[in-house]
Structure 1
């Protein structure tokens, strides 16, 4: 008996409605949005695959990944203030400029030592995909009044910037890994990648600065309705992406840089971006974790090996925590504070979306192993960080 696609979609929408009706009750529990919708996705995986043609699922998850990633990169970067970073740059600056490169180095070595058959390029790509963190998985920490402000602000700034900073490394790893495939066409690939990395930021700067100034002018002269500000945000994010693609740059880097320039150029209150991401953005987050549970996690589990599980555990513990510990030496932080910052580096949306896009654009010899590593790491992180965020936030507050 076939499965009706409409009934599957109706069940998914019912889950969205039920969660939204019970958001405060969920906040008081150990459950989190990622845990719930990863679980819902896994439950509807078989009926969804049976009801929808494979090409529709493939195109749909790619479109969702691109749409969500552009908005997430732009929105996260727009909240980073250069003036605040100048005053409180030490902790997030050390974690981004020292901790992130160390995570990439330690991660690459760990993957290569555990799974050398993939080569150093595949190890670098795996490390790059598993290095960016996601504050959504530790929201109870970022928003908790128990957590000291300098710690929550550090986690927030790091998670807002590291996905954009690691993106060029993801592209480099993908290019190097795909170059090892015998039938891959790599002619001019390195030059094209360099052009993308150079022109992407230029496109983001041009779009972010010009639209921010125009929006300032429109608000000063009272030409724009408040309800239209969110439209400007969405259109600007995608304008940066599309403009970069038109001139040969990387659209995702453009969205990240464009958001940072927009946020620091715009002179009025930027609340409309947060309001949009708290509303429509939350729906995208629900859908992304549901797609992860439905379409990536089952394949990841199917191809999971002991090596993939070991790599996942190492990235969430030793690799991340050792890199952050070393980056924070000499800051005066207590041992428990360093461990707290090292532990709360959850992997989520960035790893999922980068993987979806990279695997669609490049051909890898060990693609199944890569998917298994990313799926296991994100799944373990969703559970471990989701369940530990509230108790550890209270504990760090008490001590």
Structure 2
């Protein structure tokens, strides 16, 4: 009588354990972990071990709940500073970019396969959004450090474009079911978009504020805080969806508000959210893999691969280029953003909707979406790191690994208790003084607890307990972090030497014969670089100035340039001048060049000589305020 439920539990737990253990393989061989989760589902399905599962409504229900939890966690871990920095380009990509991708893929399907416009656009909408789980995993867990503006844009886009894809897919399904009776379908689509997105945004921000308020004010047992946050997040998702708003957008924004405004039980919530998100990612990918029938893929394998390659090589790059054109992204940055357009579980989940609605092409679209996702994870997921290095977008981490534990104090204290393990090559171990406001309250050395006065100077291997304000944690991390191991390409990234950011541009230009002109006599290097870097600068940003390059080496906590590197002569960092993704500056130069040729030949300006380094008998000039 009780054997069947126990067998289900045994099977489910076995799959869960297997999926977790495959993470060891994924990290070792650099494979996209989510691809392995999907592969396990396919392997144990009806064409593998023979597990039968064909309940599309149940799969969509569980997948929707899982996606809501994943999006809440994505927002929870997105800082306001990151969202503000990437708001413009990310929101354009998440809205206009999704629409452009839908239209381009829909046009291909319509003219090549001969399907109706609505059916073609439906397939385009299904595969139009990037997958938050895949992108966040590769950028945050994959061990790759890329320029801050690019990383922020990709993270915010991946978390905010799912609601747009869900809206387009659901609305087009409704239009297909309504038939030709719908008057002005474009106007209907626009009205539905404004209502759903606006409603979801308002309720998401308000609901997130209320969740944060509840967390900060309620006095609960510590283990209950994650439970009530999960319950409130799912309640918000359900109520907004029932009122025809975008529940997915609401939970993403609510997560962002909670993660940034919450003050109580935050370390506990972060650990709970992290584990819960991994659980739901595994469940969703396994379930969608079980729902698929690989033996049917052969019928439309060619069509699916063609659509996937068109999406990867044409539709996504064109949409990204047009969306990022006003934001002055470099060619390399635009190319990387277009390449990190991984499709994942969301596309497969949306492909279930036509099946539930009994649309004739529903099963075919599901199989095509599955092939597109597999192709994307294999082609793009496996090549993100080499592509980032090839484009010269990888930057060294600001600090090395930190061994620490954060403990929350009872009574709504304004401080946290942070435990650091002093590693051998950290600044503290090398003699750096600990600030007075961060003197250890307790030192554990060789298993013995002692006061800071009794312990004396910190030693390698000590565990130090420090009471500190949350806003000072980053400063402490720098003191206790191990040294960053730099490779040859990282050293090239820093340039030959550093200049103070407040060094006068005019003096630097005269010292190194750089063909640049300051906007005003007192302009500093930092002001000059910000002016020519679209109004903001991040670590690793480079500015070509004749034969030299100015490099943003470091920025302070306020985002201001702290030090500027200067590279003399040729650099070894791989930097490709792509023939695609022209920027507005490139277009302006081309237009001026053509206008000049039409006006007649002009005397060419003498080209600056590349500086390869001083001759043995030549003394290297010292830069102003060089460090």
TM more than 0.5: yes
Deviation string 1:123-146 (CA, Å, 9 cap, x unpaired) is 222222211112433433444344
**Residue 225 of structure 2: aligned partner:** 229
Q: Please give the alpha-carbon distance, in whole angstroms, between the structure 1 residues aligned to 2:331 and 2:197.
A: 38
**Residue 371 of structure 1: aligned partner:** 366
Is it true that 1:120 corresponds to 2:117 in the alignment? yes
Q: Please give the alpha-carbon distance, in whole angstroms, between the structure 1 residues aligned to 2:130 and 2:372.
A: 12
CA change 1:25–1:310 in 2 (3 A) is closer
Q: CA deviation at 1:22?
A: 6.0
If each structure's strand is expressed as a fraction of its own residues, which one has the higher value? 2
Instruction: Point out the structure with max Rg over C-alpha.
Output: 2
- Secondary structure of the equivalent of 1:328? helix
**Residue 129 of structure 1: aligned partner:** 126
**Residue 335 of structure 2: aligned partner:** 339
**Residue 33 of structure 2: aligned partner:** 33
**Residue 208 of structure 1: aligned partner:** 208
**Residue 295 of structure 1: aligned partner:** 291
Check conservation: 1:141, 1:390, Cα contact below 8 A.
no
Q: Please give the alpha-carbon distance, in whole angstroms, between the structure 1 residues aligned to 2:295 and 2:5.
A: 21
CA change 1:197–1:141 in 2 (3 A) is closer
**Residue 89 of structure 1: aligned partner:** 87
Report the more deviating stretch, 154-163 or 86-95: 86-95
Matches within 5 A, 1:353-368: 353-356=349-352, 358-359=353-354, 361-368=356-363
Check conservation: 1:8, 1:48, Cα contact below 8 A.
no
Q: CA deviation at 1:394?
A: 4.3
Deviation string 1:323-348 (CA, Å, 9 cap, x unpaired) is 11222235444433321111111001
Deviation string 1:317-372 (CA, Å, 9 cap, x unpaired) is 2100121122223544443332111111100122122223x235423232123212
Q: Please give the alpha-carbon distance, in whole angstroms, between the structure 1 residues aligned to 2:162 and 2:296.
A: 22
Q: Please give the alpha-carbon distance, in whole angstroms, between the structure 2 residues aligned to 1:376 and 1:111.
A: 15
- Secondary structure of the equivalent of 2:343? coil
Matches within 5 A, 1:146-295: 146-180=145-179, 200-201=200-201, 203-218=203-218, 223-247=219-243, 249=245, 251-263=247-259, 265-266=261-262, 270-272=266-268, 274-295=270-291
Q: Please give the alpha-carbon distance, in whole angstroms, between the structure 2 residues aligned to 1:332 and 1:236.
A: 40
Is it true that 1:385 corresponds to 2:380 in the alignment? yes
Q: Please give the alpha-carbon distance, in whole angstroms, between the structure 1 residues aligned to 2:327 and 2:226.
A: 39
CA change 1:166–1:263 in 2 (3 A) is farther
RMSD, aligned CA = 3.5
Report the more deviating stretch, 256-265 or 371-380: 256-265
- Secondary structure of the equivalent of 1:304? helix
Report the more deviating stretch, 319-328 or 199-208: 199-208
Check conservation: 2:296, 2:367, Cα contact below 8 A.
yes
Q: Please give the alpha-carbon distance, in whole angstroms, between the structure 1 residues aligned to 2:89 and 2:240.
A: 32
Q: Please give the alpha-carbon distance, in whole angstroms, between the structure 2 residues aligned to 1:192 and 1:334.
A: 35
Q: CA deviation at 1:44?
A: 0.9
Deviation string 1:298-318 (CA, Å, 9 cap, x unpaired) is 276155253333212211221
Q: Please give the alpha-carbon distance, in whole angstroms, between the structure 2 residues aligned to 1:282 and 1:351.
A: 19
Query: Which of 278, 302, 309 is the equivalent residue of 2:305?
Result: 309
Q: Please give the alpha-carbon distance, in whole angstroms, between the structure 2 residues aligned to 1:276 and 1:70.
A: 15
Is it true that 1:46 corresponds to 2:46 in the alignment? yes
CA change 1:251–1:142 in 2 (3 A) is closer
Matches within 5 A, 1:96-115: 96-115=94-113
- Secondary structure of the equivalent of 2:128? coil
Q: Please give the alpha-carbon distance, in whole angstroms, between the structure 2 residues aligned to 1:22 and 1:269.
A: 31
Q: Please give the alpha-carbon distance, in whole angstroms, between the structure 1 residues aligned to 2:175 and 2:243.
A: 24
TM-score of the two chains, using structure 2 as the length reference: 0.54
Q: CA deviation at 1:377?
A: 0.8
Check conservation: 2:106, 2:124, Cα contact below 8 A.
yes
Report the more deviating stretch, 263-272 or 92-101: 263-272
Q: CA deviation at 1:162?
A: 1.0
**Residue 64 of structure 1: aligned partner:** 62
- Secondary structure of the equivalent of 1:171? helix
Check conservation: 2:130, 2:342, Cα contact below 8 A.
yes
Check conservation: 2:317, 2:339, Cα contact below 8 A.
yes
Specify which structure has the bigger relative contact order, considering alpha-carbon pairs within 8 angstroms and separated by 6 or more residues: 1
**Residue 185 of structure 1: aligned partner:** none
Q: Please give the alpha-carbon distance, in whole angstroms, between the structure 2 residues aligned to 1:9 and 1:50.
A: 17
Q: Please give the alpha-carbon distance, in whole angstroms, between the structure 2 residues aligned to 1:141 and 1:84.
A: 14
Gaps of 5+ in 1: 183-188
- Secondary structure of the equivalent of 2:342? coil
Deviation string 1:164-197 (CA, Å, 9 cap, x unpaired) is 2333222222212223399xxxxxx989967766
Q: Please give the alpha-carbon distance, in whole angstroms, between the structure 2 residues aligned to 1:197 and 1:149.
A: 28
- Secondary structure of the equivalent of 2:108? helix
If each structure's helix is expressed as a fraction of its own residues, which one has the higher value? 1
Q: Please give the alpha-carbon distance, in whole angstroms, between the structure 2 residues aligned to 1:271 and 1:114.
A: 53
CA change 1:384–1:28 in 2 (3 A) is same
Q: CA deviation at 1:158?
A: 1.1
Q: Please give the alpha-carbon distance, in whole angstroms, between the structure 2 residues aligned to 1:290 and 1:162.
A: 23
- Secondary structure of the equivalent of 1:378? helix
Deviation string 1:42-100 (CA, Å, 9 cap, x unpaired) is 1111278955575xx44542332122022123222344445543344354344335433
CA change 1:73–1:297 in 2 (3 A) is farther
Q: Please give the alpha-carbon distance, in whole angstroms, between the structure 1 residues aligned to 2:350 and 2:277.
A: 18
